[in-house]
Amino acid sequence: MLPWVFGPEGPLAALRATARRSGRVRSVLDEAELERERSEWERAREGDRAALGALLSRHGPRLYRSVLLPRLGSPALAEEALGVTYVKAVERFEQFTWQGVGIYPWLRVVALRVALDQLRARKRELLFEPEHVERELDGAAREVRDAEALERHDLAFARRRVEEVLGRLNPRYARAIVLRVLEERPRDECARELEVTAATFDVVLHRAMTALKKVLAERGAAA
Amino acid sequence: MSSPADPDGRREAAWLDDAEELALAEALRAAWRPAELDSACVDELVELALTGPELASGEAAIEAEALRAAAYGGELSPARAGALAALAVGELPTPAETLAGRTLAHELGSGAPPPLVEALRAAWEPRELAAGRAAVLADRAVERRRRTNVIAVAFGAGAGVLALAAGVALLVRPPPEAAPAAAAVPVARSRSTAALFEERFTVEATSARIDRIGEARARDLRANRYAAWGVR
């Protein structure tokens, strides 16, 4: 790893702190919420379509942001995967038995399976290999954590993957990607940070992305 | 160089004037035993080289700073040193790389990033799903299930009705008429080929006789099959 990029003083640490401050991870399901979810589940089992729709749509944003989007790498693909996840969840709803942590862990397994299918059929460069999701699925069936804990786990897992692939690059290339792609800083500012002209920064970033593709291709071939 | 007319080269040497002779002597001395350059002169030359307007920014500025540090002492910042090292070891960008870099910059600036950039951002800081989108997708899935159930029930009911109708038809249908007995139709039977040959038998024309027998038997076979099928 690169301490100056990923360490406590590095730019990624500042990004992490910002994400924490912004409160993007939702609060834990409290008892009342859990009870409401159980009530909806019972009504859905008896054929109440509105209850089933409410149950599914409540967990949709979380599934999209922490499970599907990071692994599939595209908002369009992730949204499509969420639709397929819902269809499969409705088809197999009878198979779900109530857990003390709600329906989210079960929905997450369905979403991971959908993501796995899409990763296997992919035609573009992605950060995740099917093997990564397969390993997650191995432990997901016995999952007892609640939705918030799982969301934290999934978001951290995706970030570790980014750090892992950037850590395999030349530090200057990794820095160019952190500045321009992850922090989304303006081009001129990135060039100043690297002390080169904007035109040279463009070439450095292009080389950085090419190196990243190569790393991913090697990892994909090795996986 | 000597010539036949001037065997010891005296005439050519006589053509050099004093200044030329001095320059030639200096060049010979510099080549044979070069002298040290005055350090003040070195500083002046370096400063002259490092203050050109083309060295004010970019890679040239980094190189100039490195040269100054080498000439006068001092340290480069880690970022400058890294940049200089990258300049030193990195090959100059090819026209294709320059174009690709410019294209990437344009894509990033236009809000339509390449897939890998999108994937990195999605993994690092995934954005929220558009408000209300989850409810739309959930409703669609539930509705799709309802329609599937309706179609399955309708198809099942239709299939049941058809099966019932077929059963009733089988029960009330009169028995099929008996097929005409094939045995009642006369069929050709095996017999001698003598009737096929009225002419006198000779040893020639064997193939023609075999063909005639073949045609006759094929005709009999067709007639027998038609009789068996009741289509004669």
Write the DSSP string, A159-205.
Answer: HHHHHHHHTTS-HHHHHHHIIIIIS---HHHHHHHHTS-HHHHHHHH
Specify the residue for token string 């978001």: A155
Do B73 and B109 sit in the same domain of this protein?
yes
pLDDT mean across residues, chain B: 75
pLDDT at A117: 93
Do B22 and B103 sit in the same domain of this protein?
yes
Q: How far is CA B44 from CA B47, B72, B74, B223, in A?
A: 5, 12, 18, 122
Do B108 and B187 sit in the same domain of this protein?
no
Do B146 and B165 sit in the same domain of this protein?
yes
The one-letter amino acid code at B6 reads D
CB-CB under 8 Å, B104 with A209:
yes
> Looking at the domain assignment, is residue B32 inside a domain?
yes
State the best of A43, A206, A207, A213 to mutate against chain B, taking most chain B CBs within 10 Å.
A206
CB-CB under 8 Å, A19 with B144:
no
Total domains, chain B: 3
Low-confidence ranges of chain A (pLDDT < 50): 1-2, 18-27
Question: What's the domain range around B220?
Answer: 182-229
Q: What is the pLDDT of residues B4-52, one digit of tens each?
A: 555 555 555 567 788 888 888 888 888 888 887 777 766 666 665 555 4
CB-CB under 8 Å, A172 with B86:
yes
> Looking at the domain assignment, is residue B5 inside a domain?
no
pLDDT at B10: 56
A171 CB neighbours in chain B (<8 A) are: 82
Question: Residue B227 CB: number of other CB atoms within 10 A?
Answer: 18
Do B42 and B117 sit in the same domain of this protein?
yes
Shortest Cα–Cα distance, A117 to chain B (Å): 17
pLDDT at B41: 67
Give CA–CA dist A69/A67, Å, rounded. Answer: 6
Shortest Cα–Cα distance, B51 to chain A (Å): 19
Residue in A54, A90, A63, A57 with CA at minimum distance from that of residue B137 = A57
Q: What is the pLDDT of residues A172-181, one digit of tens each?
A: 999 999 999 9
Give CA–CA dist A188/A196, Å, rounded. Answer: 9
Q: CB-CB: which of A61, A73, A79 is closest to B115?
A: A73
Among the candidates B88, B107, B124, a domain finishes at B124
Do B53 and B73 sit in the same domain of this protein?
yes
DSSP state, residue B113: -
pLDDT at B6: 57
Do B192 and B212 sit in the same domain of this protein?
yes
Q: What is the pLDDT of residues A200-219, one digit of tens each?
A: 899 999 999 999 999 998 86
- Domains for chain A: give ranges and CATH numbers: 26-157 (1.10.1740.10), 167-223 (1.10.10.10)
Do B42 and B91 sit in the same domain of this protein?
yes
Q: What is the pLDDT of residues B50-105, one digit of tens each?
A: 554 444 455 666 666 777 777 667 776 666 666 666 566 555 678 888 899 999 99
Which residue of A lies nearest to B111 if distances are taken between CA atoms? A184
> Looking at the domain assignment, is residue B113 inside a domain?
yes
Do B147 and B206 sit in the same domain of this protein?
no
CB-CB under 8 Å, A78 with B83:
no
ipTM of the complex: 0.81
